[in-house]
Amino acid sequence: KAGVTQTPRYLIKTRGQQVTLSCSPISGHRSVSWYQQTPGQGLQFLFEYFSETQRNKGNFPGRFSGRQFSNSRSEMNVSTLELGDSALYLCASSLGTTNTEAFFGQGTRLTVV
Amino acid sequence: AQSVTQLDSHVSVSEGTPVLLRCNYSSSYSPSLFWYVQHPNKGLQLLLKYTSAATLVKGINGFEAEFKKSETSFHLTKPSAHMSDAAEYFCVVSFGSGNTGKLIFGQGTTLQVKP
């Protein structure tokens, strides 16, 4: 069974640009969550989508947005990039029911210059 | 507010000796608790999970953790460390139904294993 796939693995963008990251969950999983990992702040929850609806949201500015498609694939968009957005962005998929574990992709390493 | 605290940012052990990584949580609800491991330039891998069944949970690669409600702790242990165990370990909490997609991570503990 294929795992969680994130594309691209690496990105370099310039301040002010926007970026879209993609996540394909494990087949049958309806929940996709996004996390930002930085050395200073650790792993922080961005948002979760379940059956195409945002179910949970973390404390990030509106420049961070996402969506989920009918096949459960999800995209995350960051507009007007700032240097501080440089991070590893991790996607996790799960069945989305109580107490089920999340499976993580290898992440997209975003560098903003 | 829900939170999770990993008491050690860095733990160093010798190969073949026991490992103890400490984690405390704060919650008004019954939590689901997890330990994840992250090797360099890799994603997060689930080691084990607690979901209110047995308080002693066995995971992969010889790791186990014990849920102690009175101490609000969920420490990770392994009887004998292996060089391949060197990695970053995260204690993670999920709170209640309806919030299953939101995981709260501890700050992580770097495990160093010396030959």
Which residues make beta-bridge pairs with B5? Answer: B24
Amino acid in the structure at residue B25: Y
**What pLDDT sits at residue B96?**
55
Q: How many CB pairs under 8 A join A and B?
A: 67
**What pLDDT sits at residue A71?**
94
**What pLDDT sits at residue B95?**
65
**What pLDDT sits at residue A84?**
96
- Give the C-alpha separation, A80 to A58, whole Å: 19
Q: Spell out where B1-115 has E strands.
A: 3-6, 10-14, 19-21, 23-26, 31-38, 44-50, 56-58, 64-68, 73-78, 87-95, 103-105, 109-114
Preceding omega of A8 cis (within 30 degrees of 0): yes
Closest Cβ–Cβ partner in A42, A56, A102 for B107: A42
The tens-digit pLDDT sequence of chain B (115 residues) is 678 999 999 999 999 999 999 999 987 677 889 999 999 878 899 999 987 778 899 999 999 999 998 999 999 999 999 999 999 999 998 865 555 668 889 999 999 999 9
Tokens linked to A1: 């069974």
**Residue A53, H or E segment:** strand A53-57
Backbone Cα Rg of chain A? 13
Contacts of B103 in chain A (CB under 8 A): 33, 35, 45, 92, 102
**What pLDDT sits at residue B37?**
97
Instruction: Confirm or reject contact between B94 and chain A (CB < 8 A).
Output: yes
Give the residue from chain B lying closest to A106, CA to CA. Answer: B43
Q: Which residues of chain A have pLDDT under 50?
A: none
Instruction: Confirm or reject contact between A7 and chain B (CB < 8 A).
Output: no
